Amino acid sequence: MKKLILVVIIFVVITFFVMDKKKDEQEPIKDDAVSLEYKDEKRAIFISYIELDEYINNKTNEESKANIIKILDNIKDNNFNMVILHVRPFSDAIYPSEIFPYSSYVSIEEGKDPGYDILQFFIDEAHKRDLELHAWINPYRIRSNTDISAISTNNPAYQYLNTNHVKVIENVGIFYNPASEEVRELVISGVEELVKNYDIDGIHFDDYFYPDDTIDLEDYQEYLNNGGQLSLSDYRLNNVSLLIKGVYDKIKSIKKDVVFGISPEGNIDNNYDSNYIDTKKILSEEGYVDYIMPQIYFGFLNEVMPFIETVSMWNSLITVDSIKLIPALAFYKVGTTDEYAKGGSNEWIENNDIIKKQVLISRNVSNYGGFSLFRYDYLFNDEYLNDYLKKEKDNLKDIM
């Protein structure tokens, strides 16, 4: 009961902390009005390499195509309008590329042709259903393990093994070095290939930026030896900013209507202290991103990063009118204990309308552009759908 009262109080005070509308525009939104007023909002679903492995890998072409059609039908039938599709999770590709080998998550092994252009099929079927498709890339991640034997010889990472461009990090994985100019050019070339060859609606990066605090130390020392003045932290922030700027410029030079968005960690401090993405810079200057999709994977009662405060902080960072805030929400946490929330650890078990309330609150921030949910299986895979998820999903439908 106490927690219910607290949630009610949160909704009362939201007007003072988040809303940017005039008083006469702050009347409660009725369910039937929501779908009309917010018909242009982005309603996105992440389709990760985990889903690709589940629905495409080790399937016949007919089976995998049927699965893709079912995925997109589910997304469309539930009033979502945007797909964020993992096209390069590990220095690979789910499409025929002259730069990266076929992904082992859509084929038997890395580099082996799966038999058809999976990305093109996704695009064609998505656009038939008026769904946007954004190509999701992990720019630096090569492997989430340290086994170099599975890296195919036609993977660009292969030629960089045992050089300063790639690092094997024990108990973490294998990564490209963000300080390497060659790596930056490689990532930008991959984006160029995608935008030129496919009718995608956007390019999307997530939060895999700096993998550790040692990967670029040789580069930084060389930078200092050549007269560089930046601190190590600022040096790293600048390396990531150079990549983001380069990707944005390349996209717009080819197709101005293709958008570029990033989904950084929801904790702003962590972006500076460990991921080294300068979120304040890219949201206050033109020419970096079209939208920001922070992973605000926190409940209302999270004692470390409460949702209302966090979404408000992200909104306040945006000073470029064209940049939209599209919060990524943690559908995967529904029905689970969130130990990092401390006193609010049971919130996702004790409530079944958290995502609904988060969407309603987000709709009232000044730079709102929509929301996204991580990830597909938690909404549509029967093996995942427990009673908690079903109730949360039904409550979300009420405002869509």
pLDDT in tens, the chain (400 residues): 444 444 444 444 443 444 443 333 333 333 333 444 676 899 999 999 999 999 999 999 999 999 999 999 999 999 999 999 999 999 999 999 999 999 999 999 999 999 999 999 999 999 999 999 999 999 999 999 999 998 999 999 999 999 999 999 999 999 999 999 999 999 999 999 999 999 999 999 998 889 999 999 999 999 999 999 999 999 999 999 999 999 999 999 999 999 999 999 999 999 999 999 999 999 999 999 999 999 999 999 999 999 999 999 999 999 999 999 999 999 999 999 999 999 999 999 999 999 999 999 999 999 999 999 999 999 999 999 999 999 999 999 999 9
Instruction: Report residue 181 as tokens.
Output: 């100019």
Let me know: does 134 contact 261? Beta carbons within 8 Å. Answer: yes
Q: Which CATH number is associated with domain 2-397?
A: 3.20.20.80
The domain segmentation of the chain, as residue ranges, is 2-397
Residue 286 token pair: 């033109």
Task: Name which of 314, 380, 302 is nearest 346 in CA terms.
Answer: 302
Helix (H) or strand (E) holding 106: none
User: For residue 184, what are its two tokens?
Assistant: 């930056």
Q: Which residue has the tokens 């949630």?
A: 7
The pLDDT of residue 396 is 97
Q: How far apart are the first and last CA of the chain?
A: 28
How far apart CA 137 and CA 115 sit, in angstroms, is 22
Identify the pLDDT of residue 37.
Answer: 61
Please compute Rg for the chain using Cα positions: 21
Please tell me the distance from the alpha carbon of residue 137 to that of residue 244, in angstroms, as a whole number: 12
What's the CA gap between 228 and 234, in Å, rounded?
A: 11
| DSSP state string for 333-376 | GTTS--GGGGGGTTHHHH-S-HHHHHHHHHTTSTTB-EEEES-T
Q: Between vectors from CA 240 to CA 325 and to CA 269, what angle results, nearest 5°?
A: 60
Cβ(310)–Cβ(362) under 8 Å? no
Q: Which residues pair with 143 in a beta bridge?
A: 174
Instruction: Characterize the bridge pairing of strands 328-329 and 370-373.
Output: parallel
